Each structure stands twice: as C-alpha cells, then as structure tokens.
A and B are shown apart, each in its own frame.
Chain A
Amino acid sequence: MGPFRLYLKSTAMNMRIRMQYPLSFLMQTLAQLVMEGGELLAVILIVDRFDTLDRWTGGDLYFFFGMMSVTFYLTEFLGRGVTGTFPSIVRSGQLDTLLLRPRGVLTQVLCSDADPRRIVCIAVGIAALCMGSAASRVRWTFLKALALGEAILCGMLLTLGLFLIEAVFCIFSVKSVELVNALTYGGRSACQYPVDIFPRPLRTLFTAAVPFALTLQIPAAYVLDKPLFPWPAWTVFVCPLSGAAVFFAMAAVFRRALKRYRSTGS
C-alpha cells in the first residue's frame, strides 16, 4: 500500500476510534465550538467597539480570522499525529516500533491520529470567511479562488512544519517543549490579524521567520483587493510556497534528528 492510501485508510480508522464514545465525543466537540466560537466572538466585539483596525474594515478582519482558523484546524484535524500525539509516542517508547516498520516515520506519525472534533472549529472558520466575504463585498474570480486554495494548502504545510520543530526538540529532550508553543499557538493568535498592524519586530518575525504573512495573508489581502505589501501581483502565487519550503526543510531536519534518536528506555 502506498503512503497516501495508507494515510487515508488510517485516518478513516482513527475517526471511527474517536467516535466510539459518542456522548463524550459530542461534549468534546461542543467544547471546541465554545473555544473557537469564543475567539470569533472576540473579533466581533472588537469590530463592534472599534469598527476598523488601521486600514482594515470589520469584514476584512473576519476574513483574516477565517483564513487562519480554517488552515490551523484543518492541520490539527488531519495532522493530529504531528500536532498532538508525537510527544507521547516518544515518551512511551512507541517510536522504537515505528522505526522497525518498512514505512517512513513521518508517514506513520501522520497515520497515528486524526482529530474529527476540530470539524466545528473549521466550520466556525468557514462561517467567518463567508461573513468577511459578504461584508467586504468580495468580487470572486477564478484566480482569487485559486489563491485561496493554494494559501490554505501551503498554510497547512507551514503549520505542520512548525509543529515538527517541537517534534525535533522532543526527540532529544523527551519532554514536550512548551517554548515552541510561542511559535505555533502564538503565531495563530497573532496572525488572525493582518501583520501590518504589529510593530516591526513582530511583523518581521511573522513574515520572514514564521511566514504566516506570506502564506496566508498576502493571498487573503489579494482576495480583498487591498495588497498587504506593495509588491507585484505575481508574488501572490509565489509567496505561499514559503510555507511548503518550511515544511520540507523541517521534514529533512526531522529525519536527521531521528538518526540521533536514542530510545527512551524500558
């Protein structure tokens, strides 16, 4: 079985596993709805009180928020093995088993878990995108839809890549490293809003080092017809590739780190 089919099969299986306790699953999903609904409510209340944020209208803000939550939670849904379970795979010594099997470790980690609870967060994100698109009167074209799709895909790769940094730390330190959360969850919280509102150091961080601005926000701003940076139009389709680049770079580092892995014992 090829890695892709293996992944699809495992994901279907993982989803069934999660739904074995329907009541508990329902409660947890409801909790997710409260969480992401609360985040959206915060943006709505901000728009209610302030109307605009620099040059961005309320509709624009909903759109940026939606981009981030759809991307981030699609990653948590489909890549839960990397974003959530990896530290416990290392701590329990299960990683040793993965190394013995004739498939790539990263593939197996991705196959190890899926988190269908996040579907409600993705739904909240889609609702925000629709609200934003309607309020900002977006005139959709084929190119805009294409830019949106590419942005979300590359954004997912970027998010996975960031969580891989944590995974690499984890291979060496066994304990999960809270510090990396600043990049992943911090990046998510900050880049729900367009980066040009932040002071220079933060703006540079989220453009050059953790490129959420390049992968998600340049395309989002293009859809809204308000370019984020005064760059030529073709950059809209090139910049998001930086997200994919982060992922492939981190996947390479991950493979090298595995070579140095010295089991957790017992």
Chain B
Amino acid sequence: MGRAYRAVFGMRAKMELQYRGAVLGGFVCQVFFGLILVSLYRALYRGRPQALPIETVASYVWLQQAFFRMLLSSDNDLADKIRTGDIAYDLCRPVDMYRFYYARIAAQKLVGSLLRGVPMIVFAFLLPKGWGLMPPASPLALLCALASLTLGLLCVSAMENITMGITMRTLDPRGVQALLNLLMTLMAGNILPLTLFPDAWQRVLSFLPWTQMLDAPIRLYTGVRETSSVWGVLGVQIFWTAALGLLGMELWKRNREKLVLQGG
C-alpha cells in the first residue's frame, strides 16, 4: 500500500526534470516580471511610505515569482484524457484514482517550483537591499515558513484535484479551469501582494483556501506574521488541506459512479 503512489510521484518528478530549456526561458521571463513589479512598488513607496517596509514587499514579489509554478501548473495529460475519453483506461487501474493523480500533481508542482524557485531565490538574494529578497525574519521563521510551504503544496494539490473533478463533469477544461486558476492568481497574491490589500480584506482573505498556498508561508518568512502565531497559521492550513482533500475525494467518487466518457 502506498508504494504505487510513491512510484507515480517519483516518475512524474523525473519527467518534470527533463524540460530544462523551458525552465531557463521561463526563468528569464519571471525575473523580468519581478523587476517590473518591484520597480512599480518602489515608485509607489517613494510617494507614500507605508508601515510595512519596502523590503517585505520586494521579498513577497520574489517569493511569488519563485513559486509561481506551484500555484499554476496543471496535469495536461489528465485534461487530455478527459477530453478524449481515455480516462476510461485509468478506471481499470488497480489503484485509487484520486491518490494516483494527487501524487502526480504534487510531484509536478514540487519539482517544477524547485527547479525555477531555487535559482530565482539565489538571484533575488544577490539584488541590492530594497530590490531583492531579504533574509528570513529569524531562523525559526524560516523553519516555520518551510513547514507552512509544505502544507501549502499539499493544499494546492488538493485544490487542483477539485478543479479536475469539475472538469470531469464539464468535459471542457478551458472554462472552469481557467476561471478557477485566474481567481487563484488574484486571491493568492500573485497579481498584487496581499499585504497591500485593504487591511479589513486581509483579515477575511487569510481564512480562505487560496491564501494557504503561498501567502501564509511568505508572511511567516518575512515576519509579517510572528512565529508565535505559527500554530494558528498551520492549523488553518491543515483544516483547508483536509477539507479540500475530502471534498475532492467525494467529488471523484461520485464522478466515478456516473462518469460520462467522451469520444468513441
């Protein structure tokens, strides 16, 4: 038990390692976007400095750029299988389909974001102060952020499986998937750092599932959330990971009972 899923995880991780050329192109692109965003926020801060130092905002931008791939990558093979009806073969496999695809997507997100994230973090560290990534608020904050990031990965993978579960119903990946993904970029702080949202919004947003993925670990890293409140942060993350996981499993189970296959 569990060996099959570990094998799927390992295979998918190796596959993700193959596309190193695409990684380089993507890296240059992300760096460019990061520089544009940091320049914009610096210009805004020139006119009206905020309580939150610019170093924190710049770090937020770079960490979002570094782990962009964790947020936005989806299993195109599965989407294709749903579209062509090949998903019927997956139903014949002697494994639990939900866990099978959960292992795949988690591997893809982990390796995809490490490949892009590690060079990006090194690059952002080398930038001058106020432009680049600041060191973690404390060694303990780094540890908390890493724990939180791990939970974030589990949470975003569960979310991805829900999106896929809905796609199995609508059969067309473009509509629902695009809608949910775009909603995610906004609500997870990729378009505008959530720390710059109105304060009242932030309090509500921090309890929603989208902030559990990247926003929570970044806040712990930069010290916006104190390490003393770490148990609260991790608790909300665990809650959403479990809730989204159970919801997804139920959705996939029902899909299995009345799955409409396309093609012929």
Residues of A within 8 A of B (CB): 21, 23-24, 26-28, 30-31, 34-35, 38-39, 41-42, 45-46, 48-54, 177-179, 181-182, 186, 189-190, 193, 197-199, 202
CB distance from A78 to the nearest CB of B (A): 21
Residues in chain B near residue A189, CB distance under 8 A: 33, 36-37
Q: Is the CB of B25 within 8 A of A178?
A: yes
Verify if B43 is at the interface (C-beta below 8 Å from A).
yes
Report the stretch among B118-126, B169-177, B230-238, B252-260 that lies at the interface. B169-177
Closest 3 CB pairs of A and B: A27-B175, A31-B178, A178-B25
Find out whether the CB atom of B22 lies under 8 angstroms from the CB atom of A34.
Answer: no
Chain B residue at smallest Cβ distance from A52 = B47
Q: How far is the CB of A76 from chain B (nearest CB, A)?
A: 14
Q: B150 an interface residue at 8 Å Cβ cutoff?
A: no
Do residues B36 and A190 form an inter-chain contact, with CB atoms below 8 A? yes
Docked pose: A179 CA to B33 CA in angstroms: 12
Task: Count residues on chain B whose CB falls below 8 Å from chain A CBs.
Answer: 34
Task: Kindly identify, within residues 16 to 49 of chain B, every residue whose CB is under 8 Å from any CB belonging to chain A.
Answer: 22, 25-26, 28-29, 32-33, 35-37, 39-40, 43-44, 46-48
The answer to whether A178 touches B197, judged by C-beta atoms less than 8 angstroms apart, is no
Q: Is there contact, CB below 8 Å, between A24 and B196?
A: no
- Bound state CA distance, A189 and B186, in angstroms? 15
Q: How far is the CA of A39 from the CA of B50 in the complex (A)?
A: 22
A186–B32 CB distance below 8 A: yes
> CB < 8 Å: which of B28, B32, B40 contacts A197?
B40
CB of A144, distance to nearest CB on chain B (Å): 26
B50, A38: Cβ atoms under 8 Å? no
27 CB contacts below 8 A, A to B, read: A21-B172, A24-B172, A27-B174, A27-B176, A27-B179, A28-B175, A30-B175, A31-B182, A34-B179, A38-B186, A39-B191, A42-B186, A45-B192, A45-B197, A49-B50, A51-B48, A52-B47, A53-B43, A178-B25, A178-B26, A179-B29, A182-B29, A186-B33, A186-B36, A197-B43, A202-B36, A202-B39
Which residues from A are CB-within-8-Å of B185? 38
A28 CA to B176 CA, complexed, in Å: 8
B25 cross-chain contacts in A, Cβ below 8 A: 177-179
Residue in A21, A39, A50, A193 whose beta carbon sits within 8 Å of that of B47 in the complex: A50
Q: Which chain A residue shows the least CB distance to B191?
A: A42
Residue on A with the closest CB to B178? A31
A245 CB, nearest partner CB in chain B, Å: 24
Contacts from B to A (Cβ < 8 Å): 22, 25-26, 28-29, 32-33, 35-37, 39-40, 43-44, 46-48, 50, 170, 172, 174-176, 178-179, 182-183, 185-186, 191-192, 196-198
* A32 shortest CB reach to chain B, Å: 8
Query: Contacts A27-B175, A31-B182, A51-B48; is A46 near B192 (CB within 8 Å)?
Result: yes
Q: How far is the CA of A31 from the CA of B186 in the complex (A)?
A: 12
Cβ-defined contact, A181 with B29, below 8 A: yes
- A-B contacts counted at CB < 8 A amount to 97
B232 to chain A, nearest CB (A): 25
Docked Cα-Cα span, A38 to B188, in Å, equals 12
Q: How far is the CB of A202 from chain B (nearest CB, A)?
A: 6
Interchain nearest-CB distance for B100 vs A (Å): 27
A49 touches B179 (CB 8 A): no
For the complex, give the distance between the alpha carbons of A51 and B25 in Å: 36
- Say yes or no: A53 contacts B26, CB within 8 Å: no
Contact A49 B36 (CB under 8 A): no
Q: Is the CB of A34 within 8 A of B29?
A: no
- The answer to whether B29 and A178 touch across the interface, beta carbons within 8 angstroms, is yes
Query: Given the complex, which residues of A lie within 8 Å of B197, measured CB to CB?
Result: 45
Contact A182 B32 (CB under 8 A): yes
Q: B178–A54 contact, CB under 8 A?
A: no
Q: How far is A23 from B179 in the complex, measured between Cα atoms in Å? A: 13
Find chain B residues with CB under 8 A from A186 CB: 29, 32-33, 36
Question: Would you give the shortest CB distance from B190 to chain A, in whole angstroms?
Answer: 10
Is B175 touching A24 in the complex (CB atoms < 8 A)? yes
- CB-contact partner of A53 in B28, B47, B174, under 8 A: B47
CB-based contact A202/B35 at 8 Å: yes
Which residue on B lies nearest to A49, using beta carbons? B196
Shortest Cβ distance from A193 into chain B, in angstroms?
6
Shortest distance from the beta carbon of A120 to any chain B beta carbon, whole Å: 12
CB distance from A21 to the nearest CB of B (A): 7
Closest chain B residue, CB of each to CB of A36? B182
**Beta-carbon contact of B198 and A45 below 8 Å:** yes
- A contact residues around B179 at 8 Å (CB): 27, 30-31, 34
Q: How far is the CB of B25 from chain A (nearest CB, A)?
A: 4
A232 to chain B, nearest CB (A): 27
